[in-house]
Structure 1
Amino acid sequence: MITVQTMSHVSLLLAFAVTLSLLVGGVTPVSASGGSASDHAAADLGGDGVYAQADDDASASFPGNVTVTRGDEVTIAVSHSDPANVTIGSDDNGFEVTVSVGGSGTTEVVLDTRRTTAADPGEFIEGGSATLHSEPLEEPMQPADYLMRVEIDGVEYDIGTLTVEPRGEYAAESNRAPGAFTPAEYVGGGEEGDANVGPLTGTMTAGSTVARGDYAVVRFEESGLETALNTTDLTGSAAANGLKVNFTQTDPGPNTEPREYVATDTANVTVLPNLEDDAFYVLWNTSGVELENIDARNRYRAALSLTDESGFVGADTTLATTTFDLRRQSVSLSPADDATVYPWDNDTYVVEGRTNRAPNTELEVRLRSADPDAFLLISDTTVREDGSFEATVDLGEASRGTNATLWVREHFAETRQEVRLVAPDPSVEFQNQTANGTTVEVTRAELPEGGFVRLVDDGGEVVGRSDYLEPGRHTAMTAELGTPLFETQRLRAELVYAAADGSYNPGAPAYTPNGGAVVNDSAVVDFPPEPTETPAATETTATATATATRTPTATPYPVATRTPLPPSGATQSTLPLSPAVAVVALLAAAALFARRGESS
């Protein structure tokens, strides 16, 4: 009894001494995060009821708080000098798991919030040995703040917060891509399992009307589905983690089941994940879709849904939808009628058209002739965003004077046209006319390579020409004479080439097709009569005045004029009268005297 009493007193004295030393010395256990012993009693108190002693050289910490969307994975980095225990959650929020990490350094603990319904924490924890302290969850971790703690040898060195946020809004966008695109080439080409979506985003364009044979592309904006997405199975089953993507006919008509195309259930659908940007793309190859004659029955709804297999919902839930209208392919050329290409037209023949094919679709325009000088000309073009396209066919090597067939490959019936390639045919038409003496009119001229109309008279002299004429056909041209012409005469109009700089060269060769005769035409031209010399003025009275001399207009030659004689009795002249004039004067005087005598 004495012994027992002595031991009891000793125990009481020891407890009292320890308590007193703590109170007097002010020694309070503190965690690395600055909390007091009362805040972390459960963590620092040993199994025998005595507080664990911290190693002065030990350390552990989190870089900061962590946020994750419900359903996604989160990486929690922890630095530790010795093996440590990382605890996530607590009894307060119904979820608590401890992860033991060995060694020292920085360890990344990965937590998959979607799989936290598993009884084995190893299914949702990576990076260490996990122990689940709470009961398995019936649903993935709910949105909340979860406490994180890190301990070494039972001493807590840091705490932090893991915030699980609710899943965000989902969205679906309609796009289209050319049927020649090959999505299989880009699966898995990105980082961390993502696809290489760059080529797709570079070729697809926004739009909900899709020509049959092109791709209907849906861009889904996801939230909290990055670990649930199984690109090989989106049927909504357990293997698909409850995710379903399908394309369903919206209006199949009365008494008819709608057509449905489930992603990954058909080889015509490909999934390209881009989870780094919280998105994934679903490409539907529409080449195998049967089209109805009624447009309304060719509308399909693309939907992303969650089934009860996802663990997030108790019944099928649609997260996002968009629609597509499928149409038969159409291509047209402009103008729709057959065309004629003249020799003076550019050697590059431009073809324009429109189509409902997806922008960036490559089309091939062909021009073919099976005449003796057969040819096949091919020009590639790309559909613009507005559905238009333009191709240039080089006619430099094509034979002229023939007809060729023009069409767009794979669209022969709707684009076939005949193109008439006109051979060079220089000609001139010069009609009989009445001219003003300085210009004449040439009725028509065709100069495949441009040039001049030259005028030549019957003597072979060049008497005029036109201004420079561009390659092509011309009508009602004026040719100016080098010198005025008079009276009726025949002129010849000839076609001649221009100098290299387009100027007139008197020595330039004439048009002589196939080395034959000069291209020409002749006409009779009535010019005004040649003006005559105007006679000098005559005396009308003894005091006659000079008569004005009329000077013709547009006369190339000077007109000679003479000064009138002065009046009778003038002193300006001393020229003697001739004998004949004297005799006449005497006879006139005798007759005058005789008349006067008779009258007297």
Structure 2
Amino acid sequence: MTDDNDDGEVSVKFNSYQAGSGNAGDVLVPGDDETTIDEVNERTFGGFGGSNAGDDILEATDYDMLTVEGHVNLAGNSTAEVEDEDDVGTLSLEERSTENVQVWRAPASTYNDDIDDLEDDETAPVYDLIEAGNITQTDEAAIDDVNDDIIIQVEASGLEGVFTDGSGNLDTSSYGSASGAEDTGAVFQHALEDDDPGANVDTSGTDIDALSSGDYKVIYDEANDTHFVAIDGNALESAFSIEDEDEYAANFTVYDQNSDLVDDDDDSEVANDSVQFVDADATLNNDDDISLQAASGQQIFGTTNVAPSSEVTIRLRSQSSSSPFLLQPETAVTENGTFTATADLSDRSPGTNFTAQARIDGSNVGDDIDGTLVEGEVATVSISDQESDGSEVVVDNVQLSAGGFIVIHDDSLLEGEVAGSVVGSSEYLEEGSHEDITITLDEPMDEDFTAVAMPHLDTNGNEAYDFPGADDPYTSGDGPVTDSANVTVTSEEEPTATEEPTETETEPPETEEQTEETTTMDSGTDEAETTEASGPGFTAAIALIALVAAALLAVRRDN
């Protein structure tokens, strides 16, 4: 071994996956450009030597390692006396594991714009997209007119040594060809399996290699024992013939028979997650006709099932030859699947009819909606069926061109009682769009009821709800703007007089939010620990100081 720049240090990489293969040149390679390995010899112990890579992996334990100056033959090296404690280091190997699989999705352009040209270990852009909300965890993804891109995250340690080239650098180009069924001799398989393929159809799954190499990218985060398989959504739908409501499991398996990556006494390690594919859809204004003012700042609200952060264009096309226009305000899908675009209609004429259409990734998505430009103030409101303890209701979304209130009416409104049907009202809301508005009812309801949400103006400008007498409702067409929903009133059962609550110490159940936090990897751990680590890979370093009596640190990464 030669210290090429004479700085007193040399570095090597040690591949513990290849350590029993008998090919010493694959086990030990230079760790930097300033180190040259002149010759590597391997001494055979027990069954080591001449095996296939991965067959005779070193046991997970600590190994003493000795560094000496000059050439020492194998026999002499095995009996050499330690004269200085700095001559000895420790190689610490820990058990590897297969932990988890998580499916994520991203807007249709993400793979080709941000991922496909990344280096094999260039993980920072992936974490940046997660942090920005462009990549989100999901159990549903859109196909057909819009194909969400798919990212499968695999948490499994000790695989880096399988994917290293002759220089000890990470190389995932063979990931697809290395994946396969157990009877092919593959050590692992990454496959997508249709959960309901139909009668007389093999359900063993389709290997990731069914995709062309340019349609997916494998990115390794060695610091977190994680890799991401990012897939172009268009290619995935075509290669796997995915249809509406098909549910697929993303399976990652490490076999127990074809390598020592899994202990011989254990079964193959399997981790998976499922995703259902649905035809892309979008709905404008709850599928109702739209009334907009002939003014600036007009908002069009919608919902969609495509990936959050997808860009949405609302195409507004005039149907009147006397006031022609084509406007295309743009916006983006929020985390909860809503979007709101703002248009300037101040130069348009009241009374003009138009159509509104949502466009995503260059395609029309959902039905077009008829609309009319009006004089005066306009509003929209949306409320969904929900459960409540009877003291409050939640309104999904409201848009108010001039600010105001949301008033909640009960079933008696449907029988003609207006003022007497009011059961609650919101605080004053500024003009614009508001989401998830919680409204406390005047009196708690003790049985199920129909909640009718009705936006009201603040006609006297005092920011207090004063109807009747002031603060009339927003209107559209023949009457007030409203939306209704069924509210199911629930109550917690209290202990009877003869029953005393028992106190037990239990761990709180893990919530979905907590689960997502644990599966979202923290890019802040990119600096690898340099004392010990787990899993086969080129991650050990041997440092020789001035080539004499050097301290040796053989490192294997944690996790």
Alignment TM-score, normalising by the size of structure 2: 0.52
Amino acid in structure 2 at the alignment position of 1:351: I
The reply on whether 1:211 has 2:142 as its aligned counterpart is: yes
Structure 1 residue corresponding to 2:192, chosen from 237, 243, 247 = 247
Amino acid in structure 2 at the alignment position of 1:234: Y
The structure-2 alpha-carbon separation of the partners of 1:134 and 1:238, relative to structure 1 and needing over 3 Å to count, comes to: farther
Unpaired segments of 5 or more residues in structure 1? 1-82, 85-99, 425-600
The structure-2 alpha-carbon separation of the partners of 1:339 and 1:312, relative to structure 1 and needing over 3 Å to count, comes to: closer
Distance 2:176 2:157 in 1: 19
Distance 2:100 2:194 in 1: 20
Aligned to 1:270: 217
* Residue correspondence of structure 1 range 9-408 to structure 2 within 5 A: 105-127=8-30, 128=37, 129-135=39-45, 136-137=48-49, 138-152=55-69, 156=82, 157=84, 158-183=87-112, 185-187=114-116, 189=118, 196-201=125-130, 202=132, 203-212=134-143, 213-229=147-163, 231-235=172-176, 237=178, 242-258=187-203, 260-267=205-212, 268-284=215-231, 285=233, 286-288=236-238, 289-292=240-243, 295=245, 298-307=246-255, 310=259, 312-313=261-262, 317-343=268-294, 346-370=295-319, 371-408=321-358
Task: Kindly indicate whether the alpha-carbon contact (under 8 Å) linking 1:248 and 1:301 is maintained by their aligned counterparts in 2.
Answer: yes
Moved more, 210-219 or 393-402: 393-402
Distance 2:158 2:8 in 1: 30
User: SS of 2:17's equivalent?
Assistant: helix
Amino acid in structure 1 at the alignment position of 2:93: V
The structure-2 alpha-carbon separation of the partners of 1:340 and 1:334, relative to structure 1 and needing over 3 Å to count, comes to: closer
Distance 2:307 2:349 in 1: 35
The Cα shift of 1:412 comes to 4.5
Unpaired segments of 5 or more residues in structure 2? 31-36, 50-54, 73-80, 164-170, 377-559
User: SS of 2:328's equivalent?
Assistant: strand
The Cα shift of 1:164 comes to 0.9
* Residue correspondence of structure 1 range 449-464 to structure 2 within 5 A: none
Distance 2:204 2:315 in 1: 38
User: SS of 1:152's equivalent?
Assistant: coil
Task: Kindly indicate whether the alpha-carbon contact (under 8 Å) linking 1:228 and 1:243 is maintained by their aligned counterparts in 2.
Answer: no
1:221-271 superposed Cα distances (whole Å, 9 cap, x missing partner): 120112324533334638997332111101212223348442243134332
Task: Kindly indicate whether the alpha-carbon contact (under 8 Å) linking 2:120 and 2:218 is maintained by their aligned counterparts in 1.
Answer: no
Task: Kindly indicate whether the alpha-carbon contact (under 8 Å) linking 2:359 and 2:365 is maintained by their aligned counterparts in 1.
Answer: no
Distance 1:304 1:237 in 2: 13
Distance 1:374 1:162 in 2: 76
The structure-2 alpha-carbon separation of the partners of 1:105 and 1:115, relative to structure 1 and needing over 3 Å to count, comes to: same
User: SS of 2:10's equivalent?
Assistant: strand
Amino acid in structure 2 at the alignment position of 1:359: P
The structure-2 alpha-carbon separation of the partners of 1:233 and 1:262, relative to structure 1 and needing over 3 Å to count, comes to: farther
Task: Kindly indicate whether the alpha-carbon contact (under 8 Å) linking 2:102 and 2:154 is maintained by their aligned counterparts in 1.
Answer: yes
What is the RMSD computed on CA atoms of the aligned residues?
3.3
User: SS of 2:25's equivalent?
Assistant: helix
The reply on whether 1:416 has 2:368 as its aligned counterpart is: yes
User: SS of 2:287's equivalent?
Assistant: coil
Larger Rg over CA atoms = 1
User: SS of 1:132's equivalent?
Assistant: coil
The structure-2 alpha-carbon separation of the partners of 1:355 and 1:115, relative to structure 1 and needing over 3 Å to count, comes to: same
The structure-2 alpha-carbon separation of the partners of 1:276 and 1:325, relative to structure 1 and needing over 3 Å to count, comes to: same
Task: Kindly indicate whether the alpha-carbon contact (under 8 Å) linking 1:188 and 1:196 is maintained by their aligned counterparts in 2.
Answer: no
User: SS of 2:366's equivalent?
Assistant: helix
Amino acid in structure 1 at the alignment position of 2:275: F
Moved more, 193-202 or 176-185: 193-202
The Cα shift of 1:184 comes to 6.7
Equivalent residues, number: 322
Aligned to 1:48: none
The structure-2 alpha-carbon separation of the partners of 1:235 and 1:339, relative to structure 1 and needing over 3 Å to count, comes to: closer
Could you tell me the percent identity over the aligned residues?
A: 23
